[in-house]
Each structure stands twice: as structure tokens, then as C-alpha cells.
Amino acid sequence: MSVVSGVTVTVPATTANLGPGFDCIGAALTLYNEFKFTRLQAGGLIIHVTGTEAERVQTDESNLLYQAFVQLYQYIEQTPPSVKIEIQLGVPLARGLGSSATAIVGGLVGANQLAGAPLSLLQVMELAIAMEGHPDNVVPALLGGCRLAATSQTGWEICDIPWHQDIVPVVAIPDFELSTKEARRVLPTEVSRADAIFNVAHLGLLLRGLETGKGEWLRTALQDKLHQPYRKALIPGYDAVNAAAIAAGAYGMTISGAGPTLLALTNAANSNAVETEMAAAWKEAGITATVRSLSLDTQGASSFHQG
């Protein structure tokens, strides 16, 4: 194992759940955080953060990226090295675009590379899922693409979900935060059989809709009964933005991750109109939002050594 002096890790944002796939499906998007790790000879911990909302990220040992970094060293039973971490933020915080997943994946991958890659990708993935508590954002952040994760007898079965090339994800990111912890607190611990059946059927339809790009299937498939009915109330303007997206030609709209970002699926011909109308509907509701058409990231986390 060769020990390197520095490594830069790039990790994509994610959109988890995609409607009915609560806690099991997510897709990586072309929006990125970059994390640069450099060994320090003098000892200590230095964290520098740049980018939008940089002042909101912790710069001490409580930083989530650093906690993941330490976690990997604990797992391999080594003392973490003193390190300087430079964070370039491209993924907005606490918006349902997997910023915490980028930090967990970035910290684990950075530590693994600095340590000379003692862990396999599968081991890193298992650590990431354990830290985040659910697989649907860390798995696509690490591996790229759209991924379904299911528990197996021995661990996790990860399935690559085909994403039709015509499907364009549009994210409408409001200027307020909603922590995943808070958005999980409003969910019931038990659901009815009818709601469970509803989600099973809609997730099946979603997989076929994503594969074929068939708009009618996607519109129906993005419905969900496990989380959205409870979370909608935390997102002012949800119904108006949904109606505006559909009127502008989106197949459907759903909450991205735990919210408050809203995700519309559409095609290239309608994506500009969908962007404009979602932003306008939110403005009408008194909320400023950044709306962007993105693509599926197919690579996942990537890293290169500095020396």
C-alpha cells in the first residue's frame, strides 16, 4: 500500500426517493462538491470552505466530512493523520440534494485514498450507508447513475436503474433550508397496507417509466404515500409549483430527497419552460428559488492524488 500526501475527491449531488422509492432509490446529478485533503506535518486540523453558504459549514472536528474521514481510519484501526481539508461547495446545504451524502462519501473516499486504498468500493459503500442511515443518496453519490438498494441476506444488493436519455431532471432549489432530520421527524412510523401497496405498484411503474421515458407512466409513477403527503406541509407553495411544472410540460414533480428542493422530470423540449414556470410559481408564493436543468451523473465520486 503506497501512502499519498494529498488527494482531491469530487462527489455529485443526488436526488433521492424519486417519489415512491423512499429510502431505496436515488440518482446522481451533475452538480458537485470538491474536497481536497493534504497531509499536515505540523499536526492539527485545518478546514477551509469556499462557495455559496460556506460560512454555514463547521470548520472543527464536528465537520461531517472530517467525521467520515476519522470513521474510515477507525475502521482500519489506524490513527487519522493531521490534515488540511479544502471544501469547494457546489451542492447547496440542507436542500434535499444530498449535501450530507457528498460529505460522508467524500470523507470516506478521501481517507481511503490517503491511506493507500485498503478498503474496496463495496466496503466504503457499506460504511457510507451505515453513517447516513439509508442508502438512497450515498450509493448514487459514490457510484453514479440511478441506483436501487435493497438489503440482502449478507448486506446490500445494488441495482443500476436504466435512465432514458430523453429524461431531463429539473431542480427547483428554494432559498430556505430543511434538515433531513426534521423532515424525517414528521413521518409516521407505521403505514397502512393500502399505502404500502400503492408505493410498491408506483415504484414498479417508476422503474419502467425511467427506462422507457414514457411520460404518462412517469406522471403516475412519481406519486407516493409514504413521505410526500406529510412533507408537503413543510414546503410552502408545493401545490402551485407542481401545477406550474405540469402545465409547462413536465411529466411530473416530486420532492427531491427530504426536500425542500422540488424535482420535475421532463424532456429537453420543455425544460426551459418548466424552469421558468416553477421559478415564477415559487416567486408568487413569496419564495426565491434557483431552478436548473441538470443531467444524470454517471461516474459518481472520483479522486486524484496530489503526490
Ligand X SMILES: Nc1ncnc2c1ncn2[C@@H]1O[C@H](COP(=O)(O)OP(=O)(O)O)[C@@H](O)[C@H]1O
Residue from 103, 258, 281, 287 that binds ligand LJ64HWYM (CB under 6 A)?
A: 258
Residue from 27, 28, 103, 244 that binds ligand X (CB under 6 A)?
A: 103
Cell of 126: 457499506
Task: Give the range of 91-99, 138-146, 158-166, 288-296 binding ligand X by CB under 6 A.
Answer: 91-99
CA distance 169 to 268: 10
Residue 101 annotated in ligand binding? yes
Q: Rounded to the nearest 5°, which phi and psi values hold at 164?
A: -60, 135
CB atoms within 10 A of CB 188: 11
**Residues in region 89-128 near ligand LJ64HWYM by CB under 6 A:** 96-98, 100
The interface mask with ligand LJ64HWYM, positions 142-181, x = CB under 6 A, is --------------------------------------x-
Based on the shown chain and the rule CB under 6 A, indicate whether residue 218 belongs to the binding site for ligand X: no
Min CB(12)–ligand X separation in Å: 13
CA distance 37 to 8: 6
Residue from 4, 93, 121, 187 that binds ligand X (CB under 6 A)?
A: 93
Min CB(110)–ligand LJ64HWYM separation in Å: 20
Residue from 36, 134, 147, 202 that binds ligand LJ64HWYM (CB under 6 A)?
A: 134
Beta-carbon contacts of residue 34 (< 8 Å; ≥ 6 apart): 8, 9, 10, 11, 87, 88, 90
Q: Are 21 and 148 in contact (CB under 8 A)?
A: yes
Based on the shown chain and the rule CB under 6 A, indicate whether residue 199 belongs to the binding site for ligand LJ64HWYM: no
Residue 99 annotated in ligand binding? yes
CB atoms within 10 A of CB 94: 22
Based on the shown chain and the rule CB under 6 A, indicate whether residue 303 belongs to the binding site for ligand X: no
The interface mask with ligand LJ64HWYM, positions 2-21, x = CB under 6 A, is ------------x-xx----
CA distance 118 to 62: 25
Based on the shown chain and the rule CB under 6 A, indicate whether residue 95 belongs to the binding site for ligand X: yes
Residue 204 annotated in ligand binding? no
Min CB(64)–ligand X separation in Å: 4
The burial of 253, by beta-carbon neighbours within 10 Å (0-12 exposed, 13-18 middle, 19 or more buried), is given as buried
Based on the shown chain and the rule CB under 6 A, indicate whether residue 224 belongs to the binding site for ligand LJ64HWYM: no
Encode 194-210: b = buried (16+ Cβ within 10 Å), e = exposed: eeeebbeebbebbbebb
Nearer of residues 71 and 137 to ligand LJ64HWYM, judged by Cβ: 137
The interface mask with ligand X, positions 61-80, x = CB under 6 A, is --xxx---------------
DSSP string, 75-106: HTT-PPPPEEEEEEE-SPTTSSS-HHHHHHHH
Pairing of strands 45-51, 156-160: unpaired
H helices present in 24-175, as ranges: 64-75, 99-114, 121-132, 138-143
Nearer of residues 105 and 119 to ligand X, judged by Cβ: 105
Contacts with ligand LJ64HWYM, residue ranges (CB under 6 A): 14, 16-17, 22-23, 96-98, 100, 134, 136-137, 180, 183-184, 227, 257-258
Contacts with ligand X, residue ranges (CB under 6 A): 33, 57, 63-65, 87, 89, 93-103, 179-180, 257-258
